[in-house]
Structure 1
């Protein structure tokens, strides 16, 4: 019998966690605060210790083996607060003959690797968790699964979509604590997350919380773009380009904050893609900085559902963030090792495609994201242009896409166009 809470809402990642427990001595679940890591661990664990509790943390710092005591799978919650737990878990797995499913570790921030002596390879598997997708929260039917799209399968059907619902879901986010909250409380959880990030976590890292917030607002204003350090610096300091400043100063002053955002699983990088595995664009393209949940940039920009409906350009940008979050969640749910990768495409000819999903076996599919069905023809042209461009590249081993699809907010049908492009409302997409 597990510690599973009575009100637990099943998560897509549960199946992956269970699979990793059968294959490894320990599983680390990493992701942002408030996303449900502890409850998902409790759904499969039989004992738990919370290292964010002062008494428990001091106990573990005195004798780390005390944190490992409990019935397997034993959960060590917020293990990064006592970094030596990592090596202790690795040793315990070794000492027990590499027995499977002994420990579950949850972590809301990455750890300085200099504080651990072993990677944990072969003993500890890592699983990435994000806030809930629309399918997990019951706002998507999941009828158009990502797995089926890779198999070229989609069942056409009429659908009902509601942009007001999407505006609410963007501002509410996928935080388990806010899934069923009243409409007037929709923005409370992301706002509390941000307050904790800037006033507590940033200061623990020795960073200026106010500067961190200003940088986050700058990223929210330019979400999904490849901002330069200079542009971010000018935003943060509310100035035009300073004269006589060494360009390296911009990166030197802001890099610790961007690293902090990544370490807290607050911001994720979306890297460029090209079909050839050795393509230079895979490493030379500037990454886009996106948020782990659309409610965070919405809160940073003081957006409410009603305001989003009036400001359609911002709505469209944050809708893309919503789609990106859900695609990432569904990719993790595929259970591949490593996870399917989520990129973007952009080239010197001005062709851009919003989301490229690439599986470890080389298969790939592409999504364009549009808020309304009226923009599907333009999105379809982009996708077909990408397909044809990759097909002409002799270095592309997997030249043909498994699927091309347009993710839409407002639509009447889930369908396939005469050119073979899927049109999928985000409220129909699933794993």
Structure 2
């Protein structure tokens, strides 16, 4: 499979010029091995038993092999993490080690703080999928000053519905529709039947775990309580799983990088004191949510007449479109070393879908709307936040499914189709 450039590429190259060890972490199939492997001169794949055995027999090879040395799927041999950490302590130079990991093991290991720098890699953003040529730079939106907004696209609602179910996993999206669905179903089955046990978690009632994951997918983009998710997952089940059991589900799914929740923004410099601290629920990829819910693109959009595409289930499509936007924003924010959060007041009077925070506390606010031409109602929370934050608000953006990128003349809020948002 030909390599598709990823947003993290430039960051990894830059980090290896100054850091001895970098760990690229994320869910299986996001492309970690291919991305890191392009920078490595030596690759040790610990998912191959003979390579793991050779490293166990001769760990000193890490200091002899040509660098960077890539240790792929390090969690399968947790002691490899400590081997790298000790090599760094002993003076390994910049660019000595790359690690990739698809899970955080239960084994007790040193945190690696100060020795191994972690980088999160996610499924492909919309820009990385090369569906359209972006015209609006995320980096410029997050920078000081007023970003240029412009461009047009023919990517529309039907295309976004297709991209939601097509997945951001490189190998999965390369397949046709039937095989892609089979691959995603197999991915989800593997989580339940194999990956949990690989981390030492025995799933005694796999159907309950599958139902919990489906209920979780159904609350995509919301702050629903875990009690509500459990109730939805266990309707009709007399012997319900305990809270510790479902808490263990969450813990393991987080360690597998399958849950990718957006934390709440609690306000910079104490200007906002009434914000909820509940995270918003998202999986690693919107295609996983769609498969758990059993929906394809045809269940999300309809074509009542030639050339006209409309939402069949606006609530579900809106949630999954927000998932796709959130994934894309997080990929771009990782490159910029910025945090992605959400805002909601405790009473629910105000909500902002995404708040991207720089390390100086200044933020970019983003609302997500299916509406191709957002009106005043669609930007009211962005206007409210601008009044509250003043100069600490770098910019305000509505990401849409529309054809044009522009600034609204009445308030200067940027309107950007997702297809035109690039790094």
Give the TM-score of the pair, scaled to structure 2: 0.89
Quote the residue 1:396 is aligned against.
none
Please give the alpha-carbon distance, in whole angstroms, between the structure 2 residues aligned to 1:122 and 1:203.
Answer: 31
Partner of residue 371, structure 1: 370
The residue that corresponds to 2:344 in the other structure is: 346
Out of 105, 109, 117, the residue aligned to residue 111 of structure 1 is 105
- Per the TM alignment, residue 357 of structure 1 is displaced from its structure 2 partner at its CA by 0.5
Alpha-carbon separation, structure 1, partners of 2:138 and 2:209: 36
Q: How far apart, CA to CA, are the structure 2 residues paired with 1:207 and 1:250?
A: 13
Alignment of 1:174-323 (within 5 A): 174-204=168-198, 205-208=201-204, 209-239=206-236, 250-277=242-269, 285-309=277-301, 310-323=312-325
Q: What is the CA distance between 1:375 and its match in structure 2? A: 4.0
Query: How far apart are residue 67 of structure 1 and its match?
Result: 6.2
Asked whether the equivalents of residues 132 and 174 of structure 1 are also in contact (C-alpha less than 8 Å), the reply is yes
Give 3-state SS (helix, strand or coil) of 2:122's partner: coil
Distance 2:134 2:154 in 1: 14
Deviations 1:33-76, CA, capped at 9 Å, x for gaps: 00000000111011111111122233444554456653111111
- 1:41 alignment counterpart: 36
Specify the alignment match of 1:57 in structure 2: 52
Question: Which residue matches 2:117?
Answer: 125
1:358–1:364 Cα contact (<8 Å) kept: yes
Distance 1:363 1:382, change over 3 A: same
Q: Could you say what secondary structure the match of 2:281 adopts? A: strand
| Contact 2:275–2:343, Cα closer than 8 Å, also in 1 | no
Aligned residues: 406
| 8 A Cα contact 1:271 1:282, kept in partner | no
How far does the alpha carbon of each residue in 1:365-401 deviate from its partner, in whole angstroms, 9 at most, with x for none? Answer: 111101122444322122102222334xxxxxxx531
**Are the structure 2 counterparts of residues 282 and 145 from structure 1 closer, same or farther at C-alpha, using a change threshold of 3 Å?**
farther
Take 2:267 and 2:189, find their aligned partners in 1: how far apart are those partners? 41
Q: Does 1:325 align with 2:327?
A: yes
CA distance in 1, matches of 2:100, 2:334: 17
Q: CA offsets per residue over residues 53-100 of structure 1, 9 Å max, x none?
A: 1222334445544566531111110001111111111111222x2411
Superposed displacement of residue 307, structure 1: 0.9
Contact map agreement 2:62 2:69 (CA 8 A) in 1: no
| SS across alignment from 2:352 | strand
| 1:66-105 paired onto structure 2 within 5 Å | 66=61, 70-95=65-90, 97-105=91-99
Where does the alignment leave 5 or more consecutive residues of structure 1 unmatched?
1-5, 392-398
Stretches of structure 2 that go unaligned for 5 or more consecutive residues are 302-311
Q: Secondary structure at the match of 1:217?
A: helix
Matches of 2:128 and 2:156 in 1, distance apart? 18
Give the one of 5, 9, 32 matched to 1:10.
Answer: 5
Are the structure 2 counterparts of residues 241 and 313 from structure 1 closer, same or farther at C-alpha, using a change threshold of 3 Å? farther
Shift in alpha-carbon separation, 1:89–1:283, aligned structure 2, 3 A: farther
Relative distance call for 1:307 and 1:13 in structure 2 (3 A) is same
Q: Which residue of 1 aligns with 2:309?
A: none
The 3 A distance-change label for structure 1 pair 236 and 104 is: same
Alignment root-mean-square deviation, CA: 2.4
